[in-house]
Amino acid sequence: MEMIGSCLSMVVIFSLYISTNAILVNKPPIIHTNHPYLNIRENSPIGTSFVVIDASSQTNDVVTVTPHDSATAARITLVPVKVGIHSTYRALTKLIPDRETERTWYLTFQAHDSHGDTLWTLPLHIDDVNDNAPVFVHDHFHAVFGFGLTVGTKALHVTALDVDEGPNAAITYSMKPHLVTHPSSRYNAFDIDPSTGDITLKEALQHGQTVYHYQVNATDGGIPQHVASALVDISILDFGVIG
C-alpha cells in the first residue's frame, strides 16, 4: 500500500509539473508600450530617439527586445536601457526618414524569453518638411496670337509641381517682365492667376507686331519658402489669330 501511495504521489507531482509548465509555455512576455502609431519629422538625423519600449516576463525570466524582421532592422536600432524580468529599450533611427520615398515605416518588434515571443507592430508616420522646391513642367513656355486677341482670353497656362504635401506644396504664381530694364505699360496687358497659373489678356493690345517676355515664378507655402522660375514668350502678330 505504501508503494501504491508513493506512486500516486509521484503521478500527482508529475501531473502538476506538466500542468505548470504548460501554463508557463502559454505565457509569453508582455510588451507594455502600446502606441497605435507615432510620428517622426522628415530628415531627422540618424540616431533620433522616437520610442521607449517596455516589456516584462510573466515567468520571472529575462526578456529581450529585438527587431522582428530585416526591414525593421534596416531602419532602427534598439539600445538596451535595462535588461531583466522587466526590460526597457530605446529605439533610434538608422536611416534618415524621407517622406517622398516612404510615407510610413512599419516597424515590428519582438519581445522574447524562454517561454515564448510577443510581436508588436508600430506604424511610424513621417511628417513632411519643406525640402523640395516647385518644378515647372517646362523651362520655357511659348504662345503666338494675332492682334485680334480679345480681353479676357486665356493666352497660356503654366504649371509647376511640388512633391511635398499640404501647405509645403501649395503653389502661388506670379509674373514680371523678363530682361526689360524699364518695362513699358504694354507689359500690363497680360496677367497671371496666382492660383491656377492661367495667363490672360487683361488690356487691349496696341497695334504692331511685338513679343512679350515674362518670367513666371512658382512659390510654395512652406517655411522657408522655395521659388522656381520659368520663361514665357507671347508673340503678337498683326494679322488674324494663327495659334
Chain segment 191-202, per-residue pLDDT in tens: 999 999 999 999
Last residue of a domain, one of 84, 104, 127: 127
Host domain of residue 58: 31-127
pLDDT band at 204 (very low <50, low <70, confident <90, very high): confident
Q: Where are the alpha helices (DSSP H) in 59-159?
A: 70-75
User: Residue 172: is it exposed, middle or buried by C-beta count within 10 angstroms (0-12/13-18/19+)?
Assistant: middle
Pair 109, 188 in one domain? no
Our CA angle for 231, 168, 197, nearest 5°, is 35
CA–CA distance, 98 with 126 (Å, rounded to integer): 7
Last residue of a domain, one of 127, 162, 182: 127
- The number of domains in the chain is 2
Residue 97 pLDDT > 60, yes or no? yes
Residue 8, domain member (yes or no): no
19-33, 65-79, 90-104, 126-140: segment of lowest average pLDDT: 19-33
Report the CATH number at residue 104.
Answer: 2.60.40.60
Pair 153, 200 in one domain? yes
Residue 202 and residue 108 in contact, taking contact as beta carbons nearer than 8 Å? no
189 compared with 71, residue with greater pLDDT = 71
Residue the block writes with cell 513666371? 216
- Full-model pTM: 0.77
Looking at residue 237, its pLDDT comes to: 85
Pair 113, 144 in one domain? no
Residue 243, domain member (yes or no): no
Pair 151, 231 in one domain? yes
Chain segment 155-181, per-residue pLDDT in tens: 999 999 999 999 999 999 999 999 876
Contact residues for 178 (Cβ-Cβ < 8 A; gap 6+): 213, 214, 215, 231, 232
Average pLDDT over the chain, rounded to an integer: 88
Our CA angle for 124, 130, 134, nearest 5°, is 125
Residue 215 pLDDT > 70, yes or no? yes
Looking at residue 187, its pLDDT comes to: 83
36-50, 85-99, 186-200: segment of lowest average pLDDT: 186-200
The string of DSSP letters for 179-233 reads: S-SS--GGGGGEEE-TTT-EEEE-SPPPSS-EEEEEEEEEEESSSS--EEEEEEE
Chain segment 59-93, per-residue pLDDT in tens: 999 999 999 999 999 999 999 999 999 999 999 99
Looking at residue 51, its pLDDT comes to: 98
Last residue of a domain, one of 76, 94, 127: 127
Pair 189, 222 in one domain? yes
Pair 102, 139 in one domain? no
Residue 190, domain member (yes or no): yes
